[in-house]
Structure 1
Amino acid sequence: MVLVSAVRDYINRMLQDISGMKVLILDSQTVSSVSVAYSQSELLQKEVFLVELVDSISMSKEPMSHLKAVYFLRPTSENIQHMRRQLAKPRFGEYHLFFSNIMKDTQLHILADSDEHEVVHQVQEFYADFAAIDPYHFTLNIASSHMYMLPAVVDPSNLQHFCDRVVDGIAAIFLALKRRPVIRYSHTSDTAKRIAQEAAKLMYQQESGLFDFRRTEVSPLLLVIDRRDDPVTPLLNQWTYQAMVNELIGIQDNKVDLRNIGKFAKDQQEVVLSSEQDAFFKTNMYENFGDIGMNIKRMVDEFQQVAKSNQKIQTIEDMAKFVDNYPEYRKMHGNVSKHVTLVTEMSKIVEQRKLMLVSQTEQELACNGGQGAAFEAVTNLLNNESVSDIDRLRLVMLYALRYEKDSPVQLMQLFNKLASRSPKYKPGLVQFLLKQAGVDKRNGDLYGNRDLLNIARNMARGLKGVENVYTQHQPLLFQIMESITKGRLRDVDYPYVGNHFQQGRPQEVVIFIVGGTTYEESRSVALQNSTNSGIRFILGGSAVLNSKRFLKDLEEAQRIARTSTSVV
């Protein structure tokens, strides 16, 4: 519960010491931080009767002097200007200002000069500059996450803005955890190196006093890696509950928007999927799709028993008991309806797109050799009218990543076939992916065929068989965590920043993936943490990916690269 608890603690401290009716004012980033950690009913319990965005507050003129304003904002120049204008004509009785990261002295001076009416009661830094979507998984929700794929010469100001935002988020994580880490990075990634160096400069030089926490015997580790070291994981269909919902429907800040896939009652158009607020989801979020169906049936049966017992209201005592239990009954009804709806809709999509057929080939491409059989399987699926354009594209990409050096003739045949069957996809997108994340650009042993230990491990898995052909893939992150646990993460692949080396095995590790994380990877982290290895892993990234978002970022990077004559 480490990340969610840290954010909840900050929100509690913001709200509980300010008595009376309050309005909570957020920005587009902090609204994510708050919404994934705190429910609306909990905010009401803290006497928060209104939640607004800071830019919409600027548009309104209505005075509300009976309310106390609690602002929770990122310390950006834009937000400081919003505050300057709003303090010039205060609408609320009191102003309590909280910022989600380190403030500059100049920003404090601007706020002080703007408070001519003396309505500001406090200004504090509460380091929750991230969205804690799961206990050990956070995201920065950066819209321009494609910037990591572009060389610095293409768009230097936007790349710097991207890196600054990542460094801010990483700094907030370690300030919330009250730790200062040693820092390592993937040696093949210029962006990861830049972020690692700037984070080290912030923690060890510019704000060294702020990060001067009580030393642990072995320093925590921050490892900054690049999405391009493992482009396979975000391209795969998923078959465990949380990851599958994100892949087929989409999850944003633990909310699932169902409006685009069907007509639902108003209270069912957007549903919350949070391990903090939903016991069934917490128990089943990492389970296979087949098991989910059976577990939901059991939940439906239990609900029907409760519903039957509620129909037998014959006495005043029965009625009183029903009224007492009604909130729990409503919640149970909502939960049953939510999970039945999600599984029903996903089952339809699986059938429409023939995903069981597609996914079997995907997993073979990701996990097993056999170029000839793979070529035949991909060709057959490209010719299958039931296979969607996005699935055709992903299959060709997975084949290209696996066999780019082995079968150039067959690869060209697949490129031509894809262009004829799915013309809406931009020409050269697969080639751009190889340029970005081909075998010559990647760090680590993505297919487990370079390192003798990995080869032996894969052979052992093959001999034992795989419990489920659809979930046999393991992301590169799994190997990285295993190497850290066994003290085998190679310095040549993941060098340290500066002179801050690690003596011994760390007990806390934050792995940040520049370019975004997946729910398959967060599942690997949760399973690794449950093994009691003595190391607690936390995963974070610039965004949360499914295949659509990964391909969208790839297309955007390709578009910018094409318009720039500087790209080499």
Structure 2
Amino acid sequence: MVLVSAVRDYINRMLQDISGMKVLLLDSYTVSVVSVAYSQSELLQKEVFLVELIGSKSKESMSHLKAVFFLRPTTENIQYLRRQLASPRFAEYHLFFSNILNDTQIHILADSDEQEVVKQVQEFYADFVAIDPYHFTLNVQSNHIYMLPVVMDPSSLQNYCDCVVDGIAAVFLALKRRPVIRYQRTSDVAKRIAQETANLMYQKETGLFDFRRAEISPLLLVVDRRDDPITPLLNQWTYQAMVHELIGIQDNKVDLRSIGKISKDQQEVVLSSEQDVFFKSNMYENFGDLGMNIKRMVDEFQQVAKSNQNIQTIEDMAKFVDNYPEYRKMQGNVSKHVTMVTEMSKIVEERKLMLVSQTEQDLACNGGQVATFEAVTNFLNDESVSDIDCLRLVMLYALRFEKENPLQIMQLFNKLSSRSSKYKPGLVQFLLKQAGVDKRTGDLYGNRDLLNIARNMARGLKGIENVYTQHQPLLFQTMENLTKGRLRDVDYPFVGNHFQQGRPQDVVIFVVGGTTYEEARAVALQNATNSGIRFILGGSVVLNSKRFLKDLEEAQRIVRSSTNAI
């Protein structure tokens, strides 16, 4: 519970020492930070009367209330507070910032507080969204920027890097640790972020990061999404990852309004391992086992519902009233999970995803060229298979066999283009330029390194428990190499003169370009092995195939328009 606990601790400290009725004011980013870590009912228990987004049109004076602001230290937010303090709406202002304030910002706030309503200004380093105990995201808006060459849009790239560096810094400030830093050698953006993070921690803010030194420093490893383009392109078959792939999760919330007739309280539901016991125990289960577990949950609920119908005495009635909140919660939980699984089953059937996914897994894990070419061709000829599924299959084939048979790849390109005009401009070719074999550091298919070849053979001999979940992300191999001290310095160099003495006990792996829930699952399973290393996974966003393709399209559009301009 390391990351969620850190954020909850900050929120507790913000709210508990301020007595009386309060208003909590958040910006568009910190509302995500708070919502994933703290429930509405918990805020009410802390006497938070109202939660308001800054910038909303509300100008009503609330001079009887105390205002708790939790904001990012951006120029826009400082200017907003400056205007607020010139004409205060609240009795008291308690200002908390999610990251480091600079001297200029502190002076602006001090000069603006002419009516002396500001009671405190503090930095509480929760500038990241802790979606799970060992998984965080920074929800970077223009995530495609990491794919662009530096010369194309230097200011946007700098803003992107600043945002990532600030988020990483906040994670280590919350953990009260200063790491040694390594990065993926083949990625310019990973190198830049690693160097700027090191500069912040060891030069600019060295005093802030001067925590009591552990015998072995934690490790920050910065890698690039393009080193493993396979994982975000695959269909998923474990619960959390599958919901994100087929419906979508944003800040642990699932929007179900598009499903059709659904009760108002089920239109947006929370999927949190901290707030939902059933989800916590099933989030990494495969779809088949999940179905049986949901049936068991429905059966248990029916038993409870039946017992509640047998109210015959005053004592029975009193017992029912006492247990009613728990009963309502159980009813909502059952309804939520049944609705999602029913919807996902419908999508799987409509899009023939079980057939599609078998070929995806063959391309990702086994690589029989003749059989997979025939299978992908058949899908392209089948009009009942969706365009996006055909696109992903061609991408997976191209990534797997780009050096082996260019003629077959070109045949698939032509078939894809004739099938859907949307993909004529060469999105697959753009992906190969971004994340082809010449650009990658890791052994993505486990066929370069003798050790990886042997491991894959051993897995094949043992058999795969589930054909749909046989794929392992490259991150799994990276964690294994770190655990066994085999991550090569030449591929993942250290920044500056800060080398690792001994095996680290804490490792934060940050993926520029975004993480996936399949990778989060790999981290959770690795942590459960008690290897002596605790891994934390973070990224600029949380990807599904739709978001990965959207980022790819946006980057391609900018590159093409820039090339045409020349």
TM over 0.5, yes or no? yes
Partner of 2:529: 531
1:230 equivalent among 228, 235, 244: 228
Instruction: Give, in angstroms, the shift of residue 369 of structure 1.
Output: 2.1
Partner of 1:340: 338
1:357-378 deviation line (CA, Å, top 9, x unaligned): 0000000000012111110010
Within 2, Cα distance between the matches of 1:273 and 1:457?
Answer: 35
What does 1:307-322 align with in structure 2 at a 5 Å threshold?
A: 307-322=305-320
Structure 1 counterpart of 2:346, which letter?
A: K
Aligned residue for 1:118, secondary structure, equals coil
* Aligned residues of 1:151 and 1:567 also touching (Cα < 8 A): no
What does 1:141-152 align with in structure 2 at a 5 Å threshold?
A: 141-152=139-150
Percent identity over the alignment is 86
Instruction: Give, in angstroms, the shift of residue 259 of structure 1.
Output: 1.1
Partner of 1:246: 244
Within 2, Cα distance between the matches of 1:439 and 1:567?
Answer: 29
Question: In the comparison of the two structures, how many residue pairs are matched?
Answer: 566
* Aligned residues of 1:228 and 1:437 also touching (Cα < 8 A): yes
1:154-193 deviation line (CA, Å, top 9, x unaligned): 0000000000000000000000000000000000000000
Partner of 1:181: 179
Structure 1 counterpart of 2:51, which letter?
A: V
What does 1:470-549 align with in structure 2 at a 5 Å threshold?
A: 470-549=468-547
Within 1, Cα distance between the matches of 2:564 and 2:412?
Answer: 30
What does 1:394-413 align with in structure 2 at a 5 Å threshold?
A: 394-413=392-411
Instruction: Give, in angstroms, the shift of residue 384 of structure 1.
Output: 1.3
* Aligned residues of 1:154 and 1:566 also touching (Cα < 8 A): no
Partner of 2:79: 81
Partner of 2:44: 44
Partner of 2:35: 35
Within 2, Cα distance between the matches of 1:214 and 1:70?
Answer: 31
1:94 equivalent among 89, 92, 100: 92
1:48-71 deviation line (CA, Å, top 9, x unaligned): 111111111xx3321100111000
Within 1, Cα distance between the matches of 2:377 and 2:425?
Answer: 18
Partner of 1:355: 353
* Aligned residues of 1:249 and 1:256 also touching (Cα < 8 A): yes
1:26-51 deviation line (CA, Å, top 9, x unaligned): 01110000000000111111111111
Report the TM-score, using the length of structure 1 for normalisation. Answer: 0.99
Q: Which runs of 5+ in 1 are unaligned?
A: none
What does 1:155-174 align with in structure 2 at a 5 Å threshold?
A: 155-174=153-172
1:463 matches 2:456? no
> Over aligned residues, Cα RMSD in angstroms?
1.0
2:259 equivalent among 258, 261, 271: 261
Instruction: Give, in angstroms, the shift of residue 566 of structure 1.
Output: 9.7
Within 2, Cα distance between the matches of 1:26 and 1:117?
Answer: 22
Within 2, Cα distance between the matches of 1:221 and 1:507?
Answer: 8
Aligned residue for 2:347, secondary structure, equals helix
Instruction: Give, in angstroms, the shift of residue 210 of structure 1.
Output: 0.4
Structure 2 counterpart of 1:16, which letter?
A: Q
* Aligned residues of 1:153 and 1:566 also touching (Cα < 8 A): no
Report the TM-score, using the length of structure 2 for normalisation. Answer: 0.99
Structure 2 counterpart of 1:205, which letter?
A: Q
Partner of 1:295: 293
Instruction: Give, in angstroms, the shift of residue 265 of structure 1.
Output: 1.1
Aligned residue for 1:98, secondary structure, equals strand
Within 2, Cα distance between the matches of 1:206 and 1:232?
Answer: 38
Aligned residue for 2:257, secondary structure, equals coil
Aligned residue for 1:543, secondary structure, equals coil
Instruction: Give, in angstroms, the shift of residue 264 of structure 1.
Output: 1.1
Within 2, Cα distance between the matches of 1:424 and 1:284?
Answer: 37
Instruction: Give, in angstroms, the shift of residue 261 of structure 1.
Output: 2.8
1:131 matches 2:129? yes
Instruction: Give, in angstroms, the shift of residue 426 of structure 1.
Output: 4.9
Structure 1 counterpart of 2:320, which letter?
A: F
* Aligned residues of 1:561 and 1:567 also touching (Cα < 8 A): no
Within 1, Cα distance between the matches of 2:259 and 2:513?
Answer: 27
1:209 matches 2:207? yes
Structure 2 counterpart of 1:554, which letter?
A: L
Instruction: Give, in angstroms, the shift of residue 540 of structure 1.
Output: 0.2
1:441 matches 2:434? no
1:274-304 deviation line (CA, Å, top 9, x unaligned): 0000000000000000000000000000000
